[in-house]
Amino acid sequence: MPSRFGSEYTPPPGSRVLVAMSGGVDSSVAAATLLRQGCEVIGVFMRLGSPGETLDTPIADDALRGVCNAEDRDDAGRIKIGKQGCCSINDAADARLVAAELGIPFYVVNFKKEFGRIIDYFVGEYAQGRTPNPCVRCNDWLKFGRLHEYAHSMGASFVASGHHARVAVRDGSPALLRGVDEPKDQSYVLFGAPRARLAEMLLPVGEMTKDQVREKAEELGLPTFDKPDSQEICFVPDNDYAGLVERRRPELARKGRIVDESGAPLGEHAGQHRFTIGQRRGVGVALGHPIFVVGKDPETNTVTVGERASLLSSSCTAAEANWLIDPPAPGERRRVIARYRAHGHDCPATVRVLPDLDAPTPSGRSAAFGVEFDEPQEAVAPGQAIVLYDANEPARVLGGGWIVRAGAAK
């Protein structure tokens, strides 16, 4: 068990730690921090596959192998890095260069096959009329699933990443907390990590602001210190989600009806998967006043539009529950702070455990809970994650699940 340091774990000196290096500044500083703490650090890049590339593409340039010649450095002597991206060959090269600068071993692991499950999930959710969150699934299934298994095979006791979140001690057990930099906090996307993994997780930058991370990277001479943050989904670099879905499921690209809440036809669309609950722009219908997508029916390929008030929900039901605490007893009501979008707002609410759902889920877990919001919330979309925080310690993640239905405002 790691020792307590401030409000985060630090591993005992000499611990072997696998660091998931994405080629960005956060994971670069995470690796450097652990190295300074006396850990045996191993850098690993998860090659997931990018559009237009193959995993066996040779990396012939010396710089990509960590051999940094004069032409690999800028006028200030810093190693040059690739362009902005996420999980691409350029990012692998950037991660490799940082590892070379730190003098740590570096490996690229081929998770392309496993990553196919993420893409299949993404396409399947849109086909079913839901709004997916592939980054959360990637953390659940790969970064804190397969990557931990890989770490164990290498004799590593811990897996570290550059996420802006923290692991702390609460009542003698590890707990997941928000990062101190509120705008950059990533605890939402980590809620699905198995509880047993928390004792193996290290999040070295969770106590820093993003500005402090960049300052530390520059101070340490890391070439990623000014690399922009990635904003896109790694397998949709052009942001054309509909195009990806249609390439995988061409039968979805068909005309359907746009109707109002009474069912009256208003126009046509090119596929319900092109719309999300709460969408206002690009609806394709003009009524002289603001209208929003308030419903979708994948069976009939129908999109329903209506007033903003129709987006309000007083409650929701979530499945695939993942608790990072001892779960509440069935029927017990517990006060929480809920968040149903990664960059949304906190909502005071009450949660209670429900009977397991019969419907199949992507993870195979059917455990469910219900959330009642203190105030009606807008655009609570099936398919999105809802994460629960402690009402008495709002930084602490209690758990979360995946929204299967939203209840109309009362």
Sign of CA dihedral 211, 43, 161, 62: positive
Rounded to whole angstroms, the Cα distance separating 93 from 81 reads 8
> Residue 185: how many CB atoms within 10 A of its CB?
22
Using alpha carbons, select from 241, 297, 308 the residue that is nearest to residue 269.
297
Name the nearest CA neighbour of 87 among 95, 75, 99: 95
Q: Give the residue numbers marked as catalytic.
A: 138, 234
In DSSP terms, 338 is beta-bridged to 347, 388
Alpha-carbon span 82 to 63, nearest angstrom: 11
- Which residues is 316 bridged to in the sheet? 371, 406
Burial of 7 (0-12, 13-18, 19+ CB in 10 A): middle
Q: State how far the Cα of 402 lies from the Cα of 405, in Å rounded to an integer.
A: 9
Q: Which of 324, 377, 368 is nearest to 349 (CA)?
A: 377
Report the residue count for the chain: 410
